[in-house]
Each structure stands twice: as C-alpha cells, then as structure tokens.
C-alpha cells in the first residue's frame, strides 16, 4: 500500500494567523486507503492542517495536491475538489432547517443532479449504515450529540467521497456517546476509506491508524506506525505528550 501514489500530497506548507505561525513547514503524504491519525496538544495546528486540506483555511506557502489537483492553482475548481472529500466537524454542523434525511440528500441533489428518489434511497442506506434510519424524519435538534455526529458522517458519505477528514469528531460528545461514533469510524476504516483523523482518542489511533502523526507548535514532530509511536517514541516532546495523556 505504501508504494501507491499519494492521494494527498502536502509539501512544506506554512500558515499564519496574523503573526502567529499555525503551520510550520509541514509535509505529509497520504496514500489511498491509508488511515492517518493526527495527534497533538491543543493549539498545535492539527485542525488547521486538516482544514487546509479542503481549503477551509488557505495556506500561505507550500503546496497541497489532492487527487492530482493542486489547491493553489487558480484554474482548479475548489468546489469540485471538495466534493471528493467528506468533512466531519467537532460541532457536527448539521443543517438545522433540514430533516436528517434531507441533510444527507441536499448536496447530492443540488450538486450531483441526483433525483430525489435516488438521493433518498442512498440517504436511507447510509442512515442504516450509521444505525440511525429511524430518525430520518427528525430534525437535528431532536437528536443526541452522538446521533448528530453519526448523521454528519453519513451526510459526508452521501457525496461518495474518496477521502474523509475528521476534525476532533468526538471532542464535543458526552463520554457515553463517544463509542457509537468511533464504532462507525472503525467500520468505515475497515471498508478501506482513506481517512485523516484529528483526535484525542488514543484507542482509536492504536486500533485503526496506519500512520500516526504527532504535531506540536505547528510542526510535525514525529511520524510512525502506532506500534512505534506508542511503544518506542523517539522524540522528547512526543514522550512528554504521551505521559500526560495516557
């Protein structure tokens, strides 16, 4: 798998918020089907990195190439590239004025010219997959956090993306709801989805990750397999972080 051409190729990117350097010369390759888990203390730039991949943040220098498309090339249509990448947010961000099913079908109908019945069929299948079909006609506000996040994952999948980006998907959840969301994510990983996951869930990283990336102060400090990362971390800052969190 390592020999395949990367589907995401991040090269020497920098990002500033004012004078604060949020990303410092970050490079990372993700091959198709690979699961990359990004760890690090808060403020280390991991969310910024993830958001840069689908250009919710624009980088100041360096290149990001997704599935052959250079994001900094003005000729590229960012909206088309974004359709290839599903994103799951910490705060779910379900469309509040739409029912659960409509949340899933809106984008496929409007952006892929799917008919309503096709989209509904796809939507219900995905709701089955995340185990929440019975809530199809509810509004997001009626759902628990865990349920909302599962719907958000299904909504992202409705565009049939090649890559899924997860931005701290369980951080806003009550502890008893984290499991149901991780379960869905693990199942998705087993199907071979390419995933980049920013999280604090060490268990998930151990179980699922092909590559663990540790970031601190905007830079990638250490990269490795979960075994290497959790058993034999080499960098001092990684060791310190693991001591604090485990």
Partner 1 sequence: MPGPAFFFYDERELFMAECDVKKIDVGDGAAIPEPDDRGMVSAWWIALLGTIGLLIALPLKDPSTYGRVLTFIPDGVLVTFEVTILSISLALVIGLLTGLGRISKNRFINLAASLYVEVVRGIPLLVQLFYIYFALGRFVRVPDIMAAVIAMSFCYGAYMGEVFRAGIKSIDFGQSEAALSQGFNQAQTMRYVILPQAWRTILPPVGNEFIALLKDTSLVSILAVSDILRRGREYAAESFNYFETYTMIALVYLLITLILSKIISIMEQRLSHYEKR
Q: Rounded to the nearest whole angstrom, what is the least distance from the CB of residue 241 to partner 1 in the complex?
A: 28
The reply to whether 93 sits near partner 1 by the rule CB under 8 A is yes
Supply the minimum distance, in Å, between the C-beta of residue 105 and partner 1: 12
Block residue for tokens 């969301």: 181
Instruction: Check residue 242 for interaction with partner 1 (CB under 8 A).
Output: no
Contact status: 17 vs partner 1 (CB under 8 A)? no
Q: Is 79 in the site for partner 1 (CB under 8 A)?
A: yes
- For residue 173, give Cα distances in angstroms to 163, 176, 222: 23, 8, 28
Query: Could you tell me which residues come within 8 angstroms of residue 227 by beta carbon, excluding any fewer than 6 positions away?
Result: none
Among 31, 48, 52, 54, binds partner 1 (CB under 8 A): 54
Q: Where are the extended beta strands (E) located within 35-187?
A: 35-39, 61-66, 69-70, 85-88, 163-167
User: Could you tell me which stretch among 76-84, 129-137, 185-193, 228-236 binds partner 1 (CB under 8 A)?
Assistant: 76-84
Closest of 220, 232, 237, 236 to residue 29, by C-alpha: 220
- Out of 32, 33, 95, 219, the only residue in the binding site for partner 1 (CB under 8 A) is 95
The residue from 25, 83, 186, 230 that contacts partner 1 (CB under 8 A) is 83
Select from 13, 89, 154, 218 the one that contacts partner 1 (CB under 8 A). Answer: 89
For partner 1, the closer CB: 72 or 99: 99
Strands 211-216 and 194-198: unpaired
When the beta carbons of 34 and 102 are compared against partner 1, the nearer one is: 102
96 binds partner 1 (CB under 8 A): yes
> Judged by CB under 8 A, which stretch of 39-47, 59-67, 150-158, 210-218 contacts partner 1?
150-158
Strand partners, 10: 28, 64
Q: In what order do the strands lie in the sheet with 211-216?
A: 85-88, 163-167, 194-198, 35-39, 211-216, 219-224
DSSP letter for 113, please: -
Residue numbers 196-235 binding partner 1 by CB under 8 A = none
Q: Using CA atoms, how far apart are residues 240 and 227, in angstroms rounded to an integer?
A: 17
Q: Which residues are at the interface with partner 1 (CB under 8 A)?
A: 54, 56, 79-80, 82-83, 85-87, 89, 91, 93-98, 106-107, 110-111, 139, 141-142, 152, 155-156, 159
């Amino acid at each position: 798998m390592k020999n395949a051409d990367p589907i995401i190729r991040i090269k020497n990117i920098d990002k500033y918020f004012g004078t604060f350097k949020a990303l410092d010369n970050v490079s990372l390759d993700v091959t198709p089907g690979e699961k990359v888990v990004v760890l690090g203390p808060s403020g280390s730039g991991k969310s910024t990195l993830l958001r840069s991949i689908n250009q919710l943040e624009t980088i100041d220098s360096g290149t990001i190439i997704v599935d052959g498309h250079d994001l900094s090339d003005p000729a590229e249509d960012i909206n088309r590239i974004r359709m290839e990448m599903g994103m799951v947010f910490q705060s779910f961000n379900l469309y509040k004025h739409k029912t659960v099913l409509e949340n899933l079908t809106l984008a496929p109908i409007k952006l892929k010219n799917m008919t309503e019945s096709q989209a509904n069929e796809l939507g219900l299948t995905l709701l089955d997959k995340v185990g929440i079909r019975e809530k199809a006609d509810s509004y997001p506000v009626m759902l628990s956090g865990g349920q909302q996040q599962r719907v958000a994952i299904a909504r992202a999948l409705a565009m049939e993306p090649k890559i899924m980006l997860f931005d701290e998907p369980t951080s806003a959840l009550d502890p008893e709801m984290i499991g149901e969301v991780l379960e869905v994510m693990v199942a998705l990983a087993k199907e071979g989805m390419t995933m980049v996951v920013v999280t604090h869930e060490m268990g998930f990283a151990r179980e699922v990750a092909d590559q663990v990336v540790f970031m601190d102060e905007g830079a990638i400090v250490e990269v490795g397999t979960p075994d290497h990362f959790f058993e034999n971390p080499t960098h001092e800052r990684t060791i310190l972080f693991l001591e604090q969190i485990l």
